[in-house]
Amino acid sequence: MKEKQNLLNLNQKALDAFFKELGEKSFRSKQLMKWIYKDHVFDFDKMLNLSKNLRETLKDIACIDFPTIVSKNHALDGVVKWIIDMGNENNIETVYIPEKDRGTLCISSQVGCALACTFCSTGYQGFNRNLSTAEIMAQVLIANLHLKASGRHVSNVVFMGMGEPMLNEEAVYNVCDLLLDDWAFGLSRRKVTISSSGVVPALERMSERVPVSLAISLHAATDDLRDELVPINKKYPIKELMRACKVYLNAGTQERHILFEYVMLKGVNDSANHAQQLARLLKNMSAKVNLIPFNSFAESDYQVSSVKTIEAFQNILFSQGIRTMTRRTRGEDVDAACGQLAGKVLDKTKRSDARRN
């Protein structure tokens, strides 16, 4: 028996093609998207502006399937973390961060991560597989369904959860299409952010494919240090990464900026000299730096820089004309802070075993 098509896998263009094959007009895509993403109706029988014959056909060949929620944890500061079952002993994590004027959802794009950044808990878990469009999209729907009762909703989405989004391009692009689509979530391009450690060829493709915001997980301004912290730098060194960033900044017709993320590690990358190196690297670039106090986890020997050190680092960047902010740690009491997401990963790379030995 042919497997049913999970309609959460399809953006509007793909839905148009799906309904065309059924002999239906393209407006059916918009009707279906409204039911799913606006009204949160997932039962075809309740989609009453679809003909009865179409509803019966959809029940035979299609589905709207969600993964199972393993647990939901509430932090003292209002952060919510969902652990979601992806089958075969794999879990991912999704985090909602409430602010006064917005609600940001941090979503995962892979089960684990293959990049093995040394300061990130996800990297220690190893890698299993990419998530499908439906599995990523379900994270946003799960959050909105939970928030509905409190009158809140997801206003911003960041691909900063488990995984490297630019190693799962097509699924991530499809999700971005739906997040920006007025018939789905209708978010503005500035409210959707892809964070990448620097997969250069994919970043160049992304510049033309989706007009969303870009964050670069940088953490060092020289190749020697970045090779140690972010191993993909050995394949795509900083010079190539900066070239790809300029491609992004010059793409499209609307003004673009890049957020550079920089985790503050005591005695590793937090000196005045490191700050000067970073200022020189980003000079004359439309950029903003987000300094992130390191969030500890069991396997790591790193320590967070002191508040005084972070302030001094920030002041040096300010003095060089670099826009800078320091991220406030959120959700730490439920291991939902930046760099702490670990989930449960059946590691196909065996990297996690090697690192523990």
Are 199 and 129 part of one and the same domain?
Answer: yes
Measured between alpha carbons, how far is 255 from 281 in angstroms, rounded to an integer?
21
pLDDT for res 344:
62
pLDDT for res 337:
46
Instruction: Tally Cβ neighbours within 10 Å of residue 350.
Output: 10
Are 142 and 268 part of one and the same domain?
Answer: yes
* CATH code, domain carrying 21: 1.10.150.530
Are 14 and 133 part of one and the same domain?
Answer: no
Active site residue 93: yes
Task: Point out the catalytic residue in the list 89, 93, 106, 117.
Answer: 93
Q: Which SS3 state, helix, strand or coil, does residue 308 take?
A: helix
b or e along 108-136 (b: 16 or more beta carbons within 10 Å of the residue's beta carbon)? bbbbbbbbbbbbbbbbbbbbbbbbbbbbb
Are 98 and 132 part of one and the same domain?
Answer: yes
Measured between alpha carbons, how far is 326 from 322 in angstroms, rounded to an integer?
13
Residue 93: beta bridge partners?
83
Each residue of 111-141: pLDDT tens digit? Answer: 988 898 888 877 777 888 999 999 999 999 9
b or e along 191-223 (b: 16 or more beta carbons within 10 Å of the residue's beta carbon)? bbbbbbbbbbebbbbbbebbbbbbbbbbbbbbe
What is the helix (H) or strand (E) element at residue 127, kind and residue range?
strand 127-130
Are 351 and 261 part of one and the same domain?
Answer: yes
Are 24 and 137 part of one and the same domain?
Answer: no
C-alpha of 79 from chain center: 16
pLDDT for res 356:
47
Are 299 and 340 part of one and the same domain?
Answer: yes
Are 73 and 40 part of one and the same domain?
Answer: no
* CATH code, domain carrying 297: 3.20.20.70
**Up-side HSE of residue 269: CA atoms within 13 Å toward CB?**
27
Measured between alpha carbons, how far is 321 from 251 in angstroms, rounded to an integer?
24
Cα–Cα separations (whole angstroms), residue 336 to 33, 77, 205, 339, 344 = 31, 11, 31, 8, 14
Owning domain of residue 199: 68-356
Are 103 and 194 part of one and the same domain?
Answer: yes
pLDDT for res 2:
80
Tokens of 52: 């009865």
Report how many domains make up the chain: 2
Task: Point out the catalytic residue in the list 113, 120, 176, 338.
Answer: 338
Q: What is the mean pLDDT of each run of 10 residues along the chain (357 residues)?
A: 92 98 96 97 97 97 96 88 92 92 95 88 82 97 92 94 96 98 96 97 95 96 97 97 96 90 96 98 94 84 94 96 84 48 60 49
